[in-house]
Amino acid sequence: MTRLLLQSAVSGLLVGGLYGLVALGLALSFGVMKILNVAHGELLMAGGYATFFAFTFWGLDPFLSLPLVLVGMFAFGVLLYQMPFQYLIRFETERRIKNSLLISFGLVLILQALATRFFTGDLRTITTSYSSEAFVISLLGTSIRIPWVRAGSLALAVVAAFLLDWLLNRSGFGRAVRATAEDWTRAALTGIDVRRVYLIVFGISASLAGIAGSMIATGYNVSPTIGLTWTLKALIVIVLAGLGSMRGILVAGIILGLTEGLAAVWVGPFREVVALVVFLLVLIFRPQGLFGRGAYG
Amino acid sequence: MGRYLVPAAWVAVAAGSVALGLVTESEQVLVIGIQVFMLAAMASSWNVLGGFAGQISLGHAAFFGLGSLITRHLWLAGSPLWTALIAAALATAVVAGVVGLPLLRLRGIYFVIGTLAMGVAVWVTVGNVRPLTTTLPLEQLRAFKYTGPYFIALGILALNVVVASWLRQSKQGLGMMAVRDDEEAAGASGVNALGHKMLAFVVSAALAALVGGTFAISTVGYYPNYPFHVVWTFDAILVVFIGGLGTIVGPLVGSAFYVIGREVLPESLIGFQPVLFGLLFITVVLLLPGGLVEGWQRIFRTRGRPTGDPPLPNTGEPGLTRGKELV
């Protein structure tokens, strides 16, 4: 029993890192641009397929193709911003959120259909030479298996979270981003090019989704319809962390992963309900989130 | 003359649908009819909550699925169809009342996320608990015909339209729309915001359960969690927006357009149908917030009874000032 519990907790922790990574990108575009991109999971799916095809056709290792995915998905994000999303920035916050929700919902349909049409509905997984290898650690008298690729994705999530934190809090561009997030009209008055900030932020958001997708295709699997499940997890993580709080996101992701992992042991088929109940309890008793400061960002 | 035009059109469409069901020999026509009616009814039930009360729910399929689960179970156990449908609607209404209590306290974006989480959680759970397909027993399978389900789907759709039309001009409906337009202002002028949202939520859920029941009796075999899939919610939302949010005819026009559009699309484009509708949907959201109904009114400037809400006053923003606030 101890072994089962610990193994589930470790699996939960590892998938929780990915929840955090997916949520980082979504929280960035929502926090800064007030655009709720429910197609974030579809961007992740695109990144997953890019990694999969780079591996299948060119034999490129999924960890080595990360820079390519990063750049490619940044470009894709910029393109998406230029097509529908830039028409939303003339609205005030509430209407921007509502319309972005609807527009990205349309994008979900389009991207899913295109993926099904061109990549078929099959589940795809990247199987590298080291995919089945794991390192074993002893804990409380039992041994726990940790697959290398999943440990690698947790490490990537941590690195990405720290880099993003540095970018937002320590760089000049980050200052512009934070000013825009707080009040875009006044940010524009101080000479910040708000459109450029939005463009770059949406690109970063898409590339974060893309590398998360690479890791999901490597450690788990990718199919045209995986997007929504991941978007939902990311949304729950963002609410857990508190809207507007970037620093708590990775921790909130890991908390969600752990909760689900342990719930799977105790309540088996009802584990999804546990996550929902945790989510509702947090919303009711701590609407500012676990790590949030104020009510709204 | 103009006064009688709209009721006459309703009667004509209803009579045409009934006549089609009686006359046609083609199974395909009946199946398409069932699809149009089900989607229209589902969209209309979503519209009660989303269009009238302004609460965007992404978990509507949970109630559709619950209705199908209960109806299917009771129906296969041998109870009469009407008992099964009514039981499903009542049970779903009760469930909606219970889950509505925490969910409806959430505002705007939180409500959207909460309902999405509910929908996906229920879908996965039903899939875990009941992983095997449900099929009709052999003797029922032999006698199975689409004519009965066709008329039941039509009847459920009619019920949806009647309830929505009644709500739209009733005191309760007015309260819902007040909450949609400005929850604080509605509360300040004495409208019980939570109560009206709850009414919309429960009515919308019970109507969706009836549509789910129709699905359960018109489908030979399926996975029990399939009706819980979020695609049922998405199709309904798509259709409501393409047709016209917050209107009575919008969901009907949208569904007919959607299902028939899928049927007439050339073979080579079948896989691209969601792409086309996705693009259409984005275009409607950006350029024509009132949907096809508003487009029609703009083109023909019908002066009769307005089917949509009166246009909002210009707030000074460029462009899209006529969209209805939802979140």
- The single-letter code of the amino acid at B262 is R
Which range among A84-93, B165-174, B190-199 shows the weakest confidence by mean pLDDT?
Answer: A84-93
Phi, psi at residue B203, to the nearest 5°? -60, -45
List chain A residues with CB under 8 Å of B279: 106, 110
Residues A234, A221: Cα–Cα separation, whole Å: 17
Q: Mean pLDDT, to the nearest integer, of A199-219?
A: 95
Residues B261, B256: Cα–Cα separation, whole Å: 8
Q: Using an 8 Å Cβ cutoff, are B63 and B209 in contact?
A: yes
Q: Which of B113, B114, B326 sits opposite A98 (nearest CB)?
A: B326
Residues B304, B87: Cα–Cα separation, whole Å: 40
Tokens 């199919």 locate to: A223
Q: Is B325 on the interface with A (CB under 8 A)?
A: yes
Q: Which residue has the higher pLDDT, B191 or A274?
A: B191
Q: Do the interacting molecules here have an ipTM over 0.85?
A: no
Which pLDDT belongs to residue B107? 81
Q: Mean pLDDT, to the nearest integer, of A266-291?
A: 78
Asked whether residue B130 carries a pLDDT value surpassing 70, the answer given is yes
Asked whether residue A294 carries a pLDDT value surpassing 50, the answer given is no
Asked whether residue B23 carries a pLDDT value surpassing 60, the answer given is yes
CB neighbours of residue A50 within 10 Å: 21
List chain B residues with CB under 8 Å of A232: 113, 116-117, 120
Helix axes A148-170, A2-33, angle to 10 degrees: 30
Instruction: Supply the mean pLDDT for chain A.
Output: 88
Asked whether residue A4 carries a pLDDT value surpassing 70, the answer given is yes
Cβ pair B125:A270 closer than 8 A: yes
Instruction: Supply the mean pLDDT for chain B.
Output: 85
pLDDT digits (tens, 9 = 90+) for B211-249: 999 999 888 888 888 999 888 998 899 899 888 888 899
Nearest chain B CA: its distance from A183 CA (Å): 18
Asked whether residue A268 carries a pLDDT value surpassing 90, the answer given is no
Both tokens of residue B77? 């156990």
Task: Answer whether 0.90 is exceeded by the pTM.
Answer: no
Q: Which residue has the higher pLDDT, B205 or A259?
A: B205
Residues of A in CB contact (< 8 Å) with B are 36, 84, 87, 90-91, 94-95, 97-99, 101-103, 105-110, 112-114, 116-117, 228-229, 232, 235-236, 239, 243, 268-270, 272-273, 275-276, 279-280, 283-284, 287
Spatial CB neighbours of A1, under 8 Å, sequence gap ≥ 6:
none
What is the rounded (10 degree) CA torsion for B119, B278, A68, A192? -90
Asked whether residue A106 carries a pLDDT value surpassing 60, the answer given is yes
DSSP type of residue A168: H
Reported residue count of chain A is 297
Minimal CA–CA distance to B227: which of B209, B212, B214?
B212
Nearest chain A CA: its distance from B285 CA (Å): 7
Interface test with B, best of A26, A37, A83, A280 (most B CBs within 10 A): A280
Tell me the helix, strand and coil percentages in chain A, rounded to 5.
75, 5, 20
Q: Characterize the bridge pairing of strands B221-222 and B134-135.
A: antiparallel
Which pLDDT belongs to residue B302? 55
pLDDT digits (tens, 9 = 90+) for A119-165: 988 889 888 888 888 888 887 778 888 888 889 999 999 999 999 99
pLDDT band with cut points at 50, 70 and 90 for residue B85: very high
Q: Is B282 on the interface with A (CB under 8 A)?
A: yes
pLDDT band with cut points at 50, 70 and 90 for residue A243: confident
Asked whether residue B314 carries a pLDDT value surpassing 70, the answer given is no
Reported residue count of chain B is 327
Q: Using an 8 Å Cβ cutoff, are B216 and B68 in contact?
A: yes
Q: Using an 8 Å Cβ cutoff, are B141 and B15 in contact?
A: no
SS3 A17: helix
Percent pLDDT > 90 in chain B is: 37
Q: Mean pLDDT, to the nearest integer, of A170-187?
A: 91
Q: Which residue has the higher pLDDT, A230 or A140?
A: A230
pLDDT digits (tens, 9 = 90+) for A32-77: 998 999 999 999 999 999 999 999 999 899 999 999 999 999 999 9
Q: Using an 8 Å Cβ cutoff, are A63 and A205 in contact?
A: no
Nearest chain B CA: its distance from A284 CA (Å): 8
Asked whether residue B277 carries a pLDDT value surpassing 90, the answer given is no
Asked whether residue A254 carries a pLDDT value surpassing 90, the answer given is yes
Cβ pair B117:A235 closer than 8 A: yes
Both tokens of residue B121? 């959680």
Instruction: Map chain B to HEC letters.
Output: CHHHHHHHHHHHHHHHHHHHHHHCCCHHHHHHHHHHHHHHHHHHHHHHHHHHCCCCCCCCHHHHHHHHHHHHHHHHCCCCHHHHHHHHHHHHHHHHHHHHHHHCCCCHHHHHHHHHHHHHHHHHHHHHHCCCCEECCHHHHHHCCCHHHHHHHHHHHHHHHHHHHHHHHCHHHHHHHHHHHCHHHHHHCCCCHHHHHHHHHHHHHHHHHHHHHHHHHHCCEECCCHHHCHHHHHHHHHHHHHHCCCCCHHHHHHHHHHHHHHHHCCHHHHHHHHHHHHHHHHHHHHHCCCHHHHHHHHHHCCCCCCCCCCCCCCCCCCCCCCCCCCC
Element spanning A147, H or E: strand A142-147
Q: Using an 8 Å Cβ cutoff, are B136 and B144 in contact?
A: yes
Q: CA Rg, chain B, in Å?
A: 20
DSSP string, A175-216: HHHHHHHH-HHHHHHTT--HHHHHHHHHHHHHHHHHHHHHHH
Which pLDDT belongs to residue B294? 79
pLDDT digits (tens, 9 = 90+) for A183-192: 898 999 999 9
pLDDT digits (tens, 9 = 90+) for B50-83: 999 999 999 999 999 999 999 999 998 888 989 9
List chain B residues with CB under 8 Å of A228: 120, 230
Which pLDDT belongs to residue A161? 93
Interface of B with A in 210-249 (CB under 8 A): 230, 234, 237-238, 241
Residues B1, B191: Cα–Cα separation, whole Å: 38
Residues A24, A40: Cα–Cα separation, whole Å: 11
**Cα A240 from chain centroid?**
14
Beta bridge partners of A145: A136
DSSP type of residue A222: B
Q: Mean pLDDT, to the nearest integer, of B38-56?
A: 94
Q: Using an 8 Å Cβ cutoff, are A18 and A261 in contact?
A: no
Q: Mean pLDDT, to the nearest integer, of A190-195?
A: 92
SS3 A253: helix
Q: Mean pLDDT, to the nearest integer, of A95-103?
A: 86
Both tokens of residue B86? 């009514």
